[in-house]
Amino acid sequence: MYSWWYSPGANRQEKELWEETVTPYLGRTLGTSQEMYDAGQMLMVPLHAAFTMHEKRWQQEFSGHFAREFARLEAESGNEKMEDRLGRLQYLYLSSRFLVLATQSGKRELIPTYMPSVLYREVERLWKQAPAWQWGRKPFEGGMKERVVWKLSEPKTDKRYYTAIMDEELFLFAIAADLRTYERETFNGKIESPLITDVLATADKAFRKGVKFRGDGRWVFQPGIWSDHPDYLYAGRREKKANMKPAPVKDIAWDTSHSHRFPLWLLSMSQAQQKDSTNRRFYEALRKGMEKQFYEQVLIQPSRDFPAYRTKNFIDGRNGVYRWGYQSLGTDNGYGPYELSGTLLLGWWTFLDSERIRHVYDKMSQQFPSIANVAGIYNEPDTPRKQASTQQQVKLRSLLMDLSSGMEVKLKN
């Protein structure tokens, strides 16, 4: 059980920014996978703030949004394309967090009728029924479960990254964890889905196998697994140069952009465990260890030379080039040192739940948005399709910084 703490009530500026940004966002219909993906990223901090700040109107806006979207998802059941899966999962995770927050807050009336059944059905379909794509071979007909079990068996493959536990799978683990928390809150432990138990047992094996500790509680996940993936082939390069050759790093860790989901994934996994259990202690230790790894090895403090917070590009503290020549970035282009720092603006690192991380967001909130113009590091690399941030996007990010500076989660005794 968790309890969320926040000084009740939003201030005037936060309410104004919310009305200008989040309210219209929640009024949109999410017609594409990309729109679902973006909503899952941008709305996660506002969702948690709605409950931690006890803002009833904000909670009701989310409830209305999910009622519309889940009626559509119910009607479109089974029509998902494999290439749309990640965006859908990111959005379903936003939804499962709403389910948990509404239930824990004693506000089940906010939960749309379709939501629990759709989430259970999606987990079952993706875990056991829908073919799961895989690099270098035909899809697994037995779903994600078959794919994860295959990966954990350490098969011989042409590329190391073929056996990486991906964000698709980690999102599904976290959604299943949220459903277990929902079951315990709703049925007081008397009803537990065998499906969810199965997913979480496999998830636990994946985490225990993938986590590699680095001392003082710090850790990284599956170091080296992505070393031969095209996105990581230039991780050993310290600067961007035309026509440069690959420089892979044998034990490279995940990039910080993908890693920013771990704080909340781990929170979901921890919440799903029995109080005082070995598993609860394991996931809480991972949350604390990731906080140390991020703050001490990845985050760069402002200085005279550079006035804004930055992050290194990889969660192990390395800062080489990422995604050189990536399709959307173009030839001889990619993310140079510190150029994944924009992920900070999503606010998800606040779910690591430490005073010093909240302090970072408090300082960023005071600097933003003026610092964004000085610290171009928060922008995407120049691309032919790059567009300047709209005023509304700047305002939304400003709100995210403000909200991220205050959220706190504590275990109940």
Question: 8 falls in which pLDDT band (50, 70, 90)?
Answer: low
Provide the pLDDT confidence category of residue 394 given band limits of 50, 70 and 90. confident
pLDDT of residue 386: 46
Angle CA 170–399–49, to nearest 5: 55
Percent of the chain with pLDDT over 90: 82
CA 323 to chain centre: 19
Q: Which residue has the tokens 């998800």?
A: 348
| Nearest in space to 95 (alpha carbons), one of 75, 109, 115 | 115
Cα 396 off chain centre by: 18
Radius of gyration of the chain (CA): 21
DSSP letter at 340 equals T
What residue ranges in 322-372 does DSSP mark as E strands?
none
Residues sharing a CB contact under 8 Å with residue 325, sequence separation 6 or more, in sequence order: 230, 331, 332, 333, 334
Which residues, including other chains, have CB under 8 Å from residue 258's CB and lie 6 or more apart? Answer: 167
Phi/psi of residue 67, nearest 5 degrees: -60, -45
CA dist 52 and 380 (Å) reads 31
SS3 220: strand
List the end-to-end C-alpha distance of the chain, in Å, as a whole number: 9
Nearest by Cα to 204 from 258, 131, 281, 135:
281
What does the CA dihedral 207, 45, 402, 218 come to, rounded to 10 degrees? 0
Residue reference for tokens 């459903």: 179
List, as one string, the DSSP characters of 238-289: SS--TTPPP---TT---BHHHHTTHHHHHHHHHHTSPTT-HHHHHHHHHHHH
pLDDT greater than 50 at residue 230? yes
Q: The tokens 């993310």 sit on which residue?
A: 335
Whether 383 shows a pLDDT value over 50: the answer reads: no
Nearest to 381 by CA among 332, 318, 308: 332
- The pLDDT-based confidence of 302 (bands split at 50, 70, 90) is very high
The pLDDT score that the predictor gives to residue 413 is 36
Predicted pLDDT of residue 369 = 77
- Cβ pair 343, 260 in contact under 8 A: yes
Residue 372 pLDDT class (50, 70, 90 cuts): low
Q: Read off the pLDDT band of 328 (50, 70, 90).
A: confident
Residue 160 has pLDDT above 60, yes or no: yes
pLDDT at 408: 74
Q: Is the pLDDT of residue 110 over 90?
A: yes
* Number of alpha carbons in the 13 Å side-chain half-sphere of residue 33: 11
pLDDT in tens, 254-267: 999 999 999 999 99
Alpha carbon of residue 213 to chain centroid: 21
Map tokens 């704080």 to a residue: 263
Q: Give the H or E element holding residue 410.
A: strand 408-411
Using omega within 30 degrees of 0 as the cis cutoff, is the peptide bond preceding 369 cis? Answer: yes
Read off the pLDDT band of 378 (50, 70, 90): confident
* Mean pLDDT over each residue of the chain, to the nearest integer: 92
What is the per-residue pLDDT for 392?
85
How long a stretch of residues is the chain? 413
